[in-house]
């Protein structure tokens, strides 16, 4: 893989992003990174699709949550829109494993054979679960492994997706929605809101300005349907799907002037993203964030069922306002999406600007705030839904704290590195939880003072 290859692919991705923004998903910019303005839902969905991630898109009904995901799946994975629609899973209380994952081949079952007919949702690399929070909690567990690892099981058979991304949409709480269970929601890399585009763009949408019919291709959809329904090994089916995707891509490029990505393109992009290192500040800042979201001086770590100890003096840090402990999926999501953003912007390193832009969306659905904190802030003036707003504010606070002590923290980490290598140095002390955690990692159990 060369820089030229990645540069050309970056241009292709920019063209896809531009095409969707200008023709399919009209939206206002609500995210600024180094002077460039983006719509967070579109950008993060695009990066999630490239990164093989999982995005939870929230919002009011009819504001483009599902359609934006469909366009992205279609263009990034070279799938006609009809095929994407056909593979979507709808969340509703009567949903069954047989409709989501697979069912027995009834003809073969009559002959005494157990053969699984896998759903297109399972087979295709681009997956969409529409209205996931209409699935009752008990049924959400059915898709846990699949969402997490692309590992789908039915009867005694299994499919493990070698490449996949997943978009799930969720409406705000109403009479028909359920809470998304914590293990499932934690598996999403990002949560982003598909916002109302404003009256002027909405008027334009209403007048038929947004039209995705160019991504339909009935002949190709029929052919893909046939291939996906074949009773041949998963890999062989996917090879044929890839061939058809490439043909669809050629047709789209010819008719719409935008190129879709092939599987090797996506692999090259992912490889390019993986090679982008985090700079030292980003590395140190993320450690500070992780410390604030997991630290408890009294009980060792945050736990959902435990509050704060009386008299704890760490009142100005996030540990004091959150209930749960941040999961290990969080840094993984943040790294992956920050690398994707740096790649998208043509940067050679992941810097603080990238990670600051990504963090609110990797944190929003993972932080469970204390009720008093929520009550205190829910009426504040804002442009984001409360969880994203609070995550954005939390990131702003933590970033300020980092800037105040960046040199000290980097020194502390550098000295900790030398101590770990056996040098007789003294750890740097500080009041922030990260300094306490460094000392714990150096084998020193620090008790509350």
Partner 1 sequence: MKNPFWDFRSVPAQRREIPLDRIVRAREETLDRIVQGYLQLVEEEVRDLVWLAEESKVERAYNAAVRSVGGLEYDADDIDEFCALLDSSSKIPYLISGPAGIYISALVNRAEDDRIVLCPKDYERSFHFLGYKLPEGKTLVLQGDVGDFTGAGLFGGCLLVEGSVGNWCGAGMMKGEIRVAGDAGQNTGEWMRGGEIHVDGTIQGVGTKFYGNTGYRVLFGGKIYQKGKLLVSRALVKGADQVSKGQP
Q: Are strands 126-130 and 89-90 parallel, antiparallel or unpaired?
A: parallel
Residue 261, SS3 per DSSP: coil
By C-alpha distance, which of 382, 430, 282, 385 is closest to 342? 282
C-alpha span between 415 and 82 (Å, rounded): 57
374 lines the binding site for partner 1 (CB under 8 A): no
179 lines the binding site for partner 1 (CB under 8 A): no
Give the angle subtended at the CA of 126 by the CAs of 168 and 225, to the nearest 5°. 120
446 lines the binding site for partner 1 (CB under 8 A): no
Closer residue to partner 1 (CB): 126 or 284: 284
425 lines the binding site for partner 1 (CB under 8 A): yes
Question: What CA dihedral angle connects 74, 88, 105 and 148, to 10 degrees?
Answer: 90
Least Å distance, CB 442 to partner 1, is: 9
Could you identify the residue written with the tokens 């945050």?
302
Closer residue to partner 1 (CB): 22 or 441: 441
Q: Is 200 exposed, middle or buried (0-12, 13-18, 19+ CB in 10 A)?
A: exposed
Stretch that binds partner 1, among 200-208, 224-232, 345-353, 408-416 (CB under 8 A): 408-416
Q: How many residues sit in the footprint of partner 1 (CB under 8 A)?
A: 21
Residues between 305 and 364 that touch partner 1 (CB under 8 A): none
* Contact string (CB under 8 A) for partner 1, positions 228-267, x = contact: ----------------------------------------
Closer residue to partner 1 (CB): 46 or 276: 276
Least Å distance, CB 331 to partner 1, is: 12
Pick one of 90, 177, 283, 349: the residue that binds partner 1 (CB under 8 A): 283
Residue 327, SS3 per DSSP: coil
Pick one of 332, 417, 431, 448: the residue that binds partner 1 (CB under 8 A): 417
298 lines the binding site for partner 1 (CB under 8 A): no
414 lines the binding site for partner 1 (CB under 8 A): yes
413 lines the binding site for partner 1 (CB under 8 A): yes
Q: Are strands 157-160 and 151-154 parallel, antiparallel or unpaired?
A: antiparallel
Pick one of 8, 202, 280, 374: the residue that binds partner 1 (CB under 8 A): 280
411 lines the binding site for partner 1 (CB under 8 A): yes
Closer residue to partner 1 (CB): 73 or 412: 412
In this structure, what token pair is assigned to residue 236? 């062989």
Sign of CA dihedral 116, 127, 188, 173: negative
Which one-letter DSSP state was computed for residue 416? H
Q: Where are the beta strands (DSSP E) in 267-414?
A: none
Q: Work out the number of other CB atoms within 10 angstroms of the CB of residue 36.
A: 10
Q: Where on the chain is the footprint of partner 1 (CB under 8 A)?
A: 280, 283-284, 410-418, 420-421, 424-428, 438, 441
């Amino acid at each position: 893989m060369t820089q030229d290859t990645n540069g050309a692919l970056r241009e292709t991705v920019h063209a896809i992003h531009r095409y969707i923004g200008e023709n399919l998903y009209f939206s206002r910019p609500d995210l600024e990174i180094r002077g460039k303005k983006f719509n967070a839902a579109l950008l993060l969905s695009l990066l999630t699709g490239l990164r093989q991630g999982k995005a939870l898109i929230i919002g009011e009904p009819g504001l483009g949550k599902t359609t934006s995901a469909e366009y992205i799946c279609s263009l990034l994975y070279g799938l006609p829109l009809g095929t994407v629609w056909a593979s979507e899973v709808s969340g509703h209380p009567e949903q069954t494993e047989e409709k989501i994952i697979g069912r027995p081949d009834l003809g073969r079952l009559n002959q005494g054979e157990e053969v699984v007919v896998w759903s297109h949702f399972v087979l295709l690399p681009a997956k969409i679960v529409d209205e996931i929070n209409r699935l009752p909690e008990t049924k959400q567990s059915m898709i846990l492994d699949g969402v997490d690892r692309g590992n789908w099981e039915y009867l005694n058979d299994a499919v493990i997706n070698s490449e996949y991304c997943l978009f799930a949409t969720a409406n705000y709480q109403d009479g028909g929605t359920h809470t998304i269970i914590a293990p499932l929601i934690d598996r999403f890399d990002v949560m982003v809101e598909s916002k109302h585009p404003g009256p002027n763009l909405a008027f334009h949408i209403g007048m038929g300005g947004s039209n995705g019919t160019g991504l339909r291709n009935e002949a190709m959809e029929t052919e893909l349907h046939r291939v996906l329904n074949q009773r041949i090994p998963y890999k062989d089916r996917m090879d044929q799907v890839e061939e058809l995707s490439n043909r669809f891509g050629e047709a789209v490029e010819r008719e719409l002037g935008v190129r879709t990505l092939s599987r090797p393109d996506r692999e090259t992009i992912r490889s390019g993203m993986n090679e982008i290192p985090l700079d030292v500040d980003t590395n140190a800042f993320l450690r500070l964030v992780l410390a604030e979201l997991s630290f408890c001086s009294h009980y060792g770590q945050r736990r959902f069922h435990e509050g704060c100890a009386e008299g704890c003096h760490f009142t100005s840090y996030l540990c004091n306002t959150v209930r749960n402990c941040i999961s290990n999926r969080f840094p993984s999501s943040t790294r992956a999406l920050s690398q994707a953003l740096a790649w998208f912007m043509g940067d050679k390193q992941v810097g603080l600007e990238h990670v600051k832009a990504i963090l609110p969306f990797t944190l929003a659905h993972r932080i469970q705030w204390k009720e008093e904190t929520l009550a205190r802030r829910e009426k504040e003036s804002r442009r984001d839904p409360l969880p994203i707003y609070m995550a954005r504010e939390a990131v702003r606070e933590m970033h300020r704290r980092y800037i105040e002590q960046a040199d000290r923290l980097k020194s502390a980490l550098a000295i900790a590195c030398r101590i770990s290598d056996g040098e007789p140095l003294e750890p740097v002390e500080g009041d922030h939880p990260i300094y306490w955690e460094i000392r714990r990692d150096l084998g020193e159990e620090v008790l509350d003072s």
